[in-house]
A and B are shown apart, each in its own frame.
Chain A
Amino acid sequence: MTTLTENPNVAATADTHHGPAKGLKRWLYTTNHKDIGSLYLWFAFIMFLIGGAMAMVIRAELFQPGLQIVDPHFFNQMTTVHGLIMVFGAVMPAFTGLANWMIPMMIGAPDMALPRMNNFSFWILPFAFLILIMTLFMEGGGPAFGWTFYAPLSTTYSSDTTALFVFSVHIMGISSIMGAINVIVTIWNMRAPGMTWMKMPLFVWTWFITAFLLIAVMPVLAGAVTMVLTDKFFGTSFFDAAGGGDPVMFQHIFWFFGHPEVYIMILPAFGVISAIVPTFARKPLFGYASMVYATASIALLSFVVWAHHMFTTGMPLFGELFFMYCTMLISVPTGVKVFNWVATLWRGSISFEVPMLFALAFIVLFTIGGFSGLMLAITPVDFQYHDTYFVVAHFHYVLVTGAVFSIIAAAYYWLPKWTGVMYDVTLAKAHFWCSLISVNLLFFPMHFVGLAGMPRRIPDYSLQFADFNQWISIGGFAFGLSQLIFLALLIKACRKQGKPVDAKVWDGAEGLEWEVASPAPYHTFSTPPKIK
């Protein structure tokens, strides 16, 4: 789509600039978008493993009916902190890391627009999660009210460490908002001459829209946790009917943040897939403009569907219908996207490199998650599905085989550009097949137990669910172990073990990031390239 007329940077860059600083200072004081991108990505991966370990505790407890390994209060803390870590610690920082690495290179910018703030938005994150994880070891335990922290569970019935939970969420929010401001300003103001809006790679477009969503809804989350704090500790009654408030109000405010939040976690994934599929189908993306408009439509619709999380909470009939129809409407732009990817594949000259394997798995499995979402959107049947494992199956299909698979696909796609060497393809393929099989063993049977009525967030279940749950747990352990293959592969690649690669790693790839050397020099595009 974009080609360079001239590119003065490629050869000259490495000489005219100094390289990175030495030692720990490089990482603590850095203002370099590539360093910060790497920090975000490693942090996200470590959080993915910690959050994953908590999922293993959950699956170990659910391996058999009855209570055997952990007590219910600890089980609740595990489900809660697993959710918080995966959403705010793994998926979101991973996408921010990809944005940091790739957006300046994709639009021909020398760095992110506000480099010092970029460093600040990363380094406050580990502290936020340190506080969150510390609460698990304190008196009364950590948050045990679900990642959605519904009142009154988080107010009347929570432990005193809720204050620390609230402040740690505040810090996560500050980090996301600063990161989003950086992304949006970079895209708006730092594009190279000739990089017009409709020439931008879709990963840039999707992140631009995601950043807008982040700026719009993260402050609302901050407001929600603040009200929880004052309700619990300062005697307010926002979520207490005795003082004129309403616990349902919490759900409205939370999901006004929460629903756009799920698109925050999936829109950049769409951008990644839209980069990978054309490369390995060796065809330009089908329907570029419609992809942009579809992304924007999804983002706008995401503000008017929040109450579909609350069909069973109680709402006037008009509300139930309004939110049902709006939710179903989202499947139209989402369908446009899936259709476009399939049309891109149509009559392409397809090859199955590892990023493509993950991207294809994404398209199929994310669509399954989308369909179960459509089922959940139908108000009358949601009364049956609500708060069962069907919901757990749905959002893990969109978040694990959707968002996480796209992050892994992105890592396999751009890792040679980052390290300069091709990773161990055998290990990568093993990682793919192990993950693919185990993840379906893990989440697919959840549909069945959910439809049969097994409730979520409960450490025990009726005997008839025992067989399926054993399979689910085995799938869970296998999926967890499969990620260790990825860890080994990443360590090898970062130690530069592998065959050196050219600037253009994949023969079908297009875009500015493939015009700079591999590994990408510490500074790229200090003078902007000219784009035809």
Chain B
Amino acid sequence: MSQQHDSQSYYVPEQSPWPIVGAFALFLIALGAGTTIAKIHQTGDPGWGKTVLIAGIVIVVLMMIGWFKDQIHESMQGMHSEQLGVSYKQGMSWFILSEVMFFMAFFGALFYARVLSVPWLGGEPNNEMTHLVLWPDFTAMWPLEKTPDGTETQAMGWTGLPLINTLILLTSSITMHMAHVGLEKNNRKQMKLFLTLTVLLGSIFLYLQVLEYVHAYRDLNLTLDAGIYGNTFFLLTGFHGMHVTVGTLFLIVILARVWCGHFSNDNHFAFMAASWYWHFVDVVWLGLFIFVYII
């Protein structure tokens, strides 16, 4: 480091080993997951792919620890200029937009099935012959409780667990905001309290989501392969659940950093990114609750 870094010049980091480590880990994950899935499909036994997959995941976690450690160290040293902060914020917002588009693909599938393919299979609007020739006994309905080839399932109501979960997630968005306000007012006690509450609410949400899945599989015969209703239900709620998991882990890391005395009211990008991410998963859930559960 021959050059003095100050907060005026844009900080361009030195060489870093973490990206290539991460790239290798991603390679192992893709190779491991791909072969595991193919092998299970063929023989029912995952084979060597499983080991590769686990190795990849372990390396990715190590990579993230190393990379974030460097990053946090640089931030604490005051190497980050205001301009760099803007880069991070913009980067995070565009990343969230890409996540929104990922969910759009599955929402698109849901709308397509509900508005087009299921009614078409039932003969709407001019598909009489499709209906008569392929599956004359099929009646179009949503939720699709009986598929054209006869798989039967029951719909998940919105009143029980889903409603409770909605309230939990909405509350967690408010507590997250309160934590942010605490940080901005330099009230660290408020920040700690509300951040802890948010993590707790997120974890309760995930726990209840697991209970809901158990209920779906055991009592409703609502499974991943139960036709397009189950498909869209599990992929949308499943990917959302994965995002909540990542968001909760993200918040736990932030909470740990808060306990270590990190973040000030003018330097807290990671805190803000976690908060944005959390609000994002909340908004996605609202869309889910309306379009998957209620309507």
Known A190-B10, A526-B9: A246·B91 in contact at CB below 8 Å: no
A383 lies within 8 A of chain B by Cβ: no
- A237:B227 contact, CB within 8 angstroms: yes
- A243:B104 contact, CB within 8 angstroms: no
- A31:B16 contact, CB within 8 angstroms: yes
Residue interface mask B33-55, A partner, CB < 8 A = 1: 11101101110000000000000
- B144:A244 contact, CB within 8 angstroms: yes
Q: Which of A131, A161, A237 contacts B30 (CB 8 A)?
A: A131
- A215:B97 contact, CB within 8 angstroms: yes
A516 lies within 8 A of chain B by Cβ: no
Interface residues of A in 1-31 (CB under 8 A from B): 16-18, 21, 25-26, 28-31
- A220:B105 contact, CB within 8 angstroms: yes
Q: Which of A120, A166, A253 has the most CB of B within 10 A?
A: A120
**Inter-chain contacts of B23 with A (CB < 8 A):** 120, 123-124, 127
- B94:A215 contact, CB within 8 angstroms: yes
CB distance from A491 to the nearest CB of B (A): 25
Q: Which of B26, B95, B108 has the most CB of A within 10 A?
A: B26
Interface residues of A in 227-246 (CB under 8 A from B): 227, 229-230, 232-238, 241-246
**Inter-chain contacts of B17 with A (CB < 8 A):** 28-29
- B67:A244 contact, CB within 8 angstroms: no
- B26:A249 contact, CB within 8 angstroms: no
- A249:B113 contact, CB within 8 angstroms: yes
- A110:B35 contact, CB within 8 angstroms: no
- B228:A185 contact, CB within 8 angstroms: no
Q: Which of B22, B87, B116 has the most CB of A within 10 A?
A: B87
CB distance from B104 to the nearest CB of A (A): 7
Chain A: CB-nearest residue to B146: A244
Q: Which of A21, A189, A222, A245 contacts B113 (CB 8 A)?
A: A245
- A164:B35 contact, CB within 8 angstroms: yes
CB distance from A214 to the nearest CB of B (A): 9
- A242:B67 contact, CB within 8 angstroms: no
- A116:B231 contact, CB within 8 angstroms: no
Known A123-B23, A171-B26, A236-B235: A163·B102 in contact at CB below 8 Å: no
Query: How many of chain B's residues touch chain A, expressed as a range?
Result: 35 or more
Q: Which of A18, A170, A237 contacts B2 (CB 8 A)?
A: A18
**Inter-chain contacts of A30 with B (CB < 8 A):** 15
Known A29-B20, A131-B34, A233-B37: A244·B101 in contact at CB below 8 Å: no
Residue interface mask B57-94, A partner, CB < 8 A = 1: 00000000001000000000000000100111011001
CB distance from B172 to the nearest CB of A (A): 25
CB distance from B281 to the nearest CB of A (A): 15
Chain B: CB-nearest residue to A214: B98
**Inter-chain contacts of A468 with B (CB < 8 A):** none
**Inter-chain contacts of B20 with A (CB < 8 A):** 28-29, 119, 123
Known A127-B30, A167-B34: A237·B9 in contact at CB below 8 Å: no
Stretch at the interface among B117-125, B188-196, B211-219: B117-125
Residue interface mask B2-31, A partner, CB < 8 A = 1: 110000011011111111101110110111
- B98:A161 contact, CB within 8 angstroms: no
- A241:B121 contact, CB within 8 angstroms: yes
Complexed CA–CA distance, A227 and B13 (Å): 39
Chain B: CB-nearest residue to A174: B26
Interface residues of A in 96-136 (CB under 8 A from B): 109-111, 113-117, 119-120, 123-124, 127-128, 130-131
CB distance from A250 to the nearest CB of B (A): 9
Q: Which of A31, A131, A160, A171 contacts B41 (CB 8 A)?
A: A160
B197 lies within 8 A of chain A by Cβ: no
Known A123-B23, A160-B38, A219-B102: A184·B94 in contact at CB below 8 Å: yes
**12 contacting pairs across A/B (C-beta < 8 A):** A28-B20, A119-B20, A162-B38, A186-B87, A215-B94, A220-B102, A223-B106, A233-B41, A238-B228, A244-B227, A249-B109, A252-B112
Interface residues of B (CB under 8 A from A): 2-3, 9-10, 12-20, 22-24, 26-27, 29-31, 33-35, 37-38, 40-42, 67, 83, 86-88, 90-91, 94-95, 97-99, 101-102, 104-106, 108-109, 112-113, 116-118, 120-121, 134, 144, 147-149, 151, 224-225, 227-231, 235
Given contacts A181-B98, A215-B94, A219-B105, 4 further A-B pairs with CB under 8 A are A124-B23, A177-B95, A223-B102, A232-B41
The list of the 10 closest CB pairs from A to B, nearest first, reads A223-B105, A235-B225, A244-B228, A164-B34, A120-B19, A167-B30, A29-B15, A127-B27, A246-B117, A219-B102
